[in-house]
Amino acid sequence: MALRRWISIDNNHPDVNYEGSWEEDARQFEGLFSGLFGKTQRRTTGRASMHFTFQGEGVSVTGTSRNETETTEAVQWECLVDGRVYAPPRNISLQNNFQYCFASDLEDTTHEFTMNIEATENSPLWIDRVEFYPSSDIRYRASLSNYSVALAINDTSFRYGPGWEIASTNRFAKFATVPSSYLEIEFIGTHFLWRSVYVSNQRSAQSRATYTLNGGTPVEFTVPGRQTDIGQYTLFETERLPRNKHHIKVVYEGFEAPLILNHLYIPDGDVLDRDPRILGPELDGLRIDPIPTSISTTPVSGPPVGAIVGGVVGGVVLLALIGLAAFFLRKRRATRQQQLSTVQLDMGATGFQPGPVFAAPVYHPAPAEGFNPATYAPNPPAPEHPMRMSSYYAPSTSNGPSSIVTSSAGVSSKAQLASTQPAPEPMFYQDSGVRFTSTNVDNAVPPVYSPN
């Protein structure tokens, strides 16, 4: 069975319960390493607690931390799962996305998570999101709502093209600096959100890239250059989609700032780490929404319906008249041909021999040639997810370029005449990174691709 992905829910999710003094805080705290998961956080400045019941094997709570030193007035908290205390996973630091609590290696059953807090006006505590490693029980997964799955850079559904590398300063990020580098992903969900990260040594000038959703029109977006904030941020996101299988292709166009992937968020996504292309029509066994045949619901102006109907009827009548005229003309021509044959026979009796009869030549289309572009296997496995429980990447077998297939249809007289001329010398192409589409390539040898 496939491994599972971590699930993220916002702090205002109905399954997260609060006790004590809490308030919503919409401040984004830009410059504190990364942005927020949602638009707001929960903030407390007194004695409070948070409770969350889940079924799975791990849980994590993150939020903003503005306490750099441990003093007598510093915020205090403890994390418990089923009454057992779990020590905080990190030292106190100044940042967003600070991990206050983390517990793993739990039994795959129902657990009660509790977080007790003692904060002050000078040392508040913020909760941004809750993450958990869900149960393998499909009935439990079907009961979930308002969640997002997190896809790390080693997710099975990723298909990297050439030009991607693991960042030396962040082993949980991949980047591309070569123009035309691409990433293709099949996913199940209702939304697609690309999370990037600033790195300290990237270029300051911006670049461009595009994403294409379900074979539609490419959408261009800007890849920003170096910023003072070196943390995570949202690079782009798609519109809302029906919960179904979708395909997206992201292409880096260059030429300055690198295209960096830290992770993806897919709302209502497949909890299991697998490639949706291997699934049947029921996909992950959960809710499937129909995909509308038309993207736009705005009516398009055009000619009146009456004019269209009248034009169609008139065309039908005209075709009928043309058919009748052709029928009578053919019948009349056949009668005259019969009379002419009788005259020719009579002339043959007096010594006249008719010449040979030539049938009209029939030309066949030249055989078509089809070209299938080469496919690329993904890069080698990437390191584990920072949550320590995500999947490892299993590379697929590399496929070489497809051969050119020619048709065995008959050759016409024109083609035979052309074949007597000397054939042009074959041309060899170097691998420039360009991949041919279905355009025919005459007298060409397919380029040789080197493995990644």
User: What's the CATH code of the domain at 198?
Assistant: 2.60.120.260
Kindly give, in sequence order, each residue whose CB lies less than 8 Å from that of residue 426, ignoring residues fewer than 6 positions away.
443, 444, 445
Residue 37 lies in a domain: yes
pLDDT of residue 367: 38
Measuring CA to CA, which residue among 379, 388, 266, 265 is closest to residue 3? Answer: 388
- Residue 37 sits in the same domain as residue 85: yes
pLDDT of residue 447: 46
Residue 194 lies in a domain: yes
pLDDT of residue 260: 94
395 secondary structure, DSSP code: P
pLDDT of residue 228: 61
Residue 380 lies in a domain: no
Domain end residue (candidates: 107, 126, 146): 146
Residue 201 lies in a domain: yes
- Tell me which residue range forms the domain holding 175: 151-278
272 secondary structure, DSSP code: B
pLDDT of residue 395: 32
- Residue 157 sits in the same domain as residue 142: no
Domain end residue (candidates: 112, 130, 146): 146
- Residue 141 sits in the same domain as residue 162: no
- Residue 136 sits in the same domain as residue 181: no
Question: Could you give the CA distance from residue 426 to residue 418 in angstroms, rounded to a whole number?
Answer: 17
Residue 36 lies in a domain: yes
* Residue pLDDT tens, the chain, 452 long: 678 999 999 999 999 999 999 999 887 665 545 566 778 899 999 999 999 999 999 999 998 887 655 444 578 999 999 999 998 876 666 677 788 999 999 999 999 999 999 999 888 999 999 999 999 999 999 999 999 999 999 999 999 999 999 988 778 899 999 999 999 999 999 999 999 987 767 788 999 999 999 999 999 999 998 776 556 788 999 999 999 999 999 999 998 999 999 999 999 999 999 999 999 989 999 999 998 875 433 333 444 545 555 665 677 667 777 777 776 677 666 655 544 333 332 333 333 233 333 233 333 333 334 333 333 233 333 333 344 333 322 333 333 333 333 333 444 443 343 444 444 444 433 444 444 344 443 444 444 444 44
- Residue 11 sits in the same domain as residue 140: yes
Residue 325 lies in a domain: no
Domain end residue (candidates: 108, 123, 146): 146
CA 182 remoteness from chain centre: 11
Q: Is the dihedral of CA 218, 220, 225, 229 positive or negative?
A: negative
- Residue 24 sits in the same domain as residue 48: yes
Cα dihedral 191, 192, 193, 195, rounded to 10, equals 150
- Residue 136 sits in the same domain as residue 169: no
Question: Could you give the CA distance from residue 52 to residue 57 in angstroms, rounded to a whole number?
Answer: 14
Provide the token pair at 215.
Answer: 């074979």
337 secondary structure, DSSP code: H
Measuring CA to CA, which residue among 259, 262, 261, 258 is closest to residue 203? Answer: 258
Cα dihedral 77, 81, 83, 89, rounded to 10, equals -40
| Single-letter code of the amino acid located at 77 | W
CA 445 remoteness from chain centre: 32
Tell me the DSSP string of 139-192.
HHHHT--S-EEEE-TT-TTEEE-TTEEE-SS-TT-EEE-STT-EEEEEEEES--
* Interstrand relation of 174-176 and 244-254 (parallel, antiparallel or unpaired): unpaired
- Residue 119 sits in the same domain as residue 244: no
- Residue 11 sits in the same domain as residue 126: yes
Q: Domain total for the chain?
A: 2
> How many other CB atoms are there within 10 angstroms of residue 373's CB atom?
14
Kindly give, in sequence order, each residue whose CB lies less than 8 Å from that of residue 137, ignoring residues fewer than 6 positions away.
55, 108
Residue 239 lies in a domain: yes
Question: Could you give the CA distance from residue 242 to residue 37 in angstroms, rounded to a whole number?
Answer: 22
- Residue 11 sits in the same domain as residue 142: yes
- Residue 92 sits in the same domain as residue 205: no
- Residue 127 sits in the same domain as residue 253: no
Contacts 24+ apart (CB under 8 A), 279-287: 279/245, 283/188, 283/244, 283/245, 284/188, 285/138, 285/142, 286/138, 286/141, 286/142, 286/243, 287/142, 287/243
Residue 192 lies in a domain: yes
pLDDT of residue 255: 87
